[in-house]
Amino acid sequence: MQQVKSPWPFPIFKVDKKLTVIEQSSDAQRLFGQVSSLQSLLAEGSREKAASFISSEGDHGPVELYMYNKEGEMTLVDGYMSKENDLQVHLMVIEKDSKIKQVSDRLTELRKELERKNEELLDEKERAEKMLAENQRLSAPFIEVSKGVGLTPLFGEIDQDKMIVVTQHLLERANETKSKQVIIDVTALDTLDIEGVKALEKLFVSLDVMGVNVTVSGIQTEQAKSMQLMNTNASVRYISSLEKVFSYQSS
């Protein structure tokens, strides 16, 4: 008997309409042994079902069949059919347990792949957050201009996320340098909306609690109007330019 050549790792039988086995694959021989008729492998309730399935025109499967392996053990399989010609068909059988295992293995692979992707995305997110925090920190550097005096120029726009990073950095540096005065220069600040005013207010209060005097320099007319909305008892001095602040410092 010739062997069916197949790229699929499943038992395949080439049979006629009477279920006579014409060829079978090596996997079929390994699992079911060398057989001349499919009838000998099928459980009684599956013989008529298999014959009807093979004789059908449009049904390609799956069809559930009970078959005996070469050890005489009954196993439940799914049968799939492809026609060779009007008289002969190829019947591929896949053990139910085998198919479930393959699906389970594939799901395990997909889960591991998803976990790996999630880890990569998390790493990328953490890197992006660190880069953003560093960028926000650098947009408000703390410069120790003299003993006990620090300068923080603010650049661009102010929002709550940015000010959380700026405030933490500024408070840490003011504490490290034992600053008694912090100059916050807003000359390069683009806009100052309500959100920015509230964020600055929290910063001023925090510095005041630490016993640090706050001076705001470079304030423009529109910014001054916005800062009038502050509701704080923190002592803050406003000076029009950074040059004037330094001239007051030296006098």
DSSP secondary structure string, 67-135? EE-TTS-EEEEEEEEEESSSSEEEEEEEEHHHHHHHHHHHHHHHHHHHHHHHHHHHHHHHHHHHHHHHH
pLDDT at 3 over 80: no
Query: Of 11 and 242, which is predicted with more confidence?
Result: 11
- Could you give phi then psi for residue 246, rounded to 5 degrees? -70, -35
Residue labelled with tokens 């408070």: 171
**CATH annotation of 2-95:** 3.30.450.20
**Mean pLDDT, the chain, integer:** 81
- Structural fold of domain 137-250: Transcription Regulator spoIIAA (3.30.750)
Question: Which pLDDT does position 191 carry in this prediction?
Answer: 73
Question: Which pLDDT does position 6 carry in this prediction?
Answer: 57
Q: What is the mean pLDDT of residues 115-122?
A: 76
Question: Which pLDDT does position 110 carry in this prediction?
Answer: 61
Classify burial at 66, counting beta carbons within 10 Å of its beta carbon; exposed 0-12, middle 13-18, buried 19 or more.
middle
Question: Which pLDDT does position 234 carry in this prediction?
Answer: 78
Q: What is the mean pLDDT of residues 28-40?
A: 90
Cα–Cα distance measured from residue 139 to residue 136, given in angstroms and rounded to the nearest whole number: 5
Q: What is the mean pLDDT of residues 138-152?
A: 82
| pLDDT tens column, 42-51 | 988 899 999 8
Task: Report yes or no on whether pTM surpasses 0.75.
Answer: no
Question: Which pLDDT does position 139 carry in this prediction?
Answer: 59
Helix (H) or strand (E) run with residue 152 in it? strand 149-153
| pLDDT tens column, 162-215 | 788 888 888 988 999 999 999 988 888 777 778 888 888 888 899 999 999 999
Instruction: Classify strands 181-185 and 149-153 as parallel, antiparallel or unpaired.
Output: parallel
Cα–Cα distance measured from residue 170 to residue 163, given in angstroms and rounded to the nearest whole number: 10
What would you report as the CA-atom Rg of the chain, rounded to the nearest whole angstrom?
40
Question: Which pLDDT does position 13 carry in this prediction?
Answer: 92
Question: Which pLDDT does position 62 carry in this prediction?
Answer: 86
Q: What is the 3-state secondary structure (H, E, C) of 160-198?
A: HHHHHHHHHHHHHHHHHCCCCEEEEECCCECCCCHHHHH
pLDDT at 100 over 70: no
Domain boundaries defined on the chain? 2-95, 137-250
Question: Which pLDDT does position 134 carry in this prediction?
Answer: 59
Question: Which pLDDT does position 87 carry in this prediction?
Answer: 87
Question: Which pLDDT does position 159 carry in this prediction?
Answer: 74
